[in-house]
Amino acid sequence: MNALYSSLLELAQQRKSCRHFTAEPVSEDAVEQILAVAAHAPFASGRSNWKVARVQDPQVIAALAAQVRSRAEALCADLDAETAPFFRRYAQSFTFFETAPLLLIPYCRETSTMKSMLREGASPQILGWEHDNLTKSLSCVAMMILLAAESLDLGACYMTGPLLAGTDLNATLGLRDNFLLGAIIPVGHKA
């Protein structure tokens, strides 16, 4: 068996979602190594218009978690009395990222190339397809981040639940509303 394949298979097999972190910060060298691997992720149309937000400030991390909790609670208000408690319990898992010393958040500007080309002929299906392409491409970036973190013996987790807070998160991160977040990936030393 090819040694490179064997190493990749072993890395993929040992990678698990990590939800508990020590308080020890992630070194700048480790962050740069993770981002160097992520830079090789494939992206729709061969574009490289994505970036990774890096959040290490505990106050900003806490603010992001508070926004997710607030949005989840607002959604509970729209649910019937029987369903709301189940969603509330489910949504509790959307904020464990607040215990991590580092968040890596892949994002890109959501542009509508198809709308520019097709104008009024751009159907909701075509626009949805284009949006899905960006989302899937950001997932590729996220997977590279997860594998790179594991290769450095760091814990990480792919989280999309927090994205229900959408534009609130963008505002806290200093991004305009037309930026699409791919995931919140907490990274840290495994507890």
Q: DSSP letter at 25? A: P
- Report how far residue 95's alpha carbon sits from residue 67's, in angstroms, rounded to the nearest whole number: 10
Q: DSSP letter at 101? A: S
Domain ranges of the chain: 3-188
- Report how far residue 135's alpha carbon sits from residue 143's, in angstroms, rounded to the nearest whole number: 12
Q: Give the chain's count of helices (H) and strands (E).
A: 7, 5
Sign of CA dihedral 46, 155, 92, 170: negative
Residue 56 and residue 164 in contact, taking contact as beta carbons nearer than 8 Å: no
pLDDT tens series, the chain, 191 aa: 799 999 999 999 999 999 999 999 999 999 999 999 999 998 876 667 789 999 999 999 999 999 999 999 999 999 999 999 999 999 999 999 999 999 999 998 876 665 566 666 667 776 666 667 788 889 999 999 999 999 999 999 999 999 999 899 999 999 998 899 999 999 999 99
Q: Among all chains, which residue has been given the structure tokens 């190339």?
A: 113
Instruction: Give the H or E element holding residue 104.
Output: strand 102-109
Any idea which fold 3-188 has? NADH Oxidase (3.40.109)
Short-list 88, 98, 18, CA closest to 65:
98
User: Residue 43: what are its φ and ψ, rounded to 5°?
Assistant: -145, 145
For residue 29 the two structure tokens come to: 């060298």
Encode pLDDT of 167-191 as tens digits. 999 999 999 988 999 999 999 999 9
Encode pLDDT of 10-19 as tens digits. 999 999 999 9
Residue 168 and residue 184 in contact, taking contact as beta carbons nearer than 8 Å: no
Q: What is the dihedral of CA 69, 60, 27, 105, to 10 degrees?
A: 60
Map residue 57 onto helix, strand or coil.
coil
- Report how far residue 94's alpha carbon sits from residue 15's, in angstroms, rounded to the nearest whole number: 20
Residue 21 and residue 101 in contact, taking contact as beta carbons nearer than 8 Å: yes
- Report how far residue 124's alpha carbon sits from residue 53's, in angstroms, rounded to the nearest whole number: 29
The amino acid at 18: C
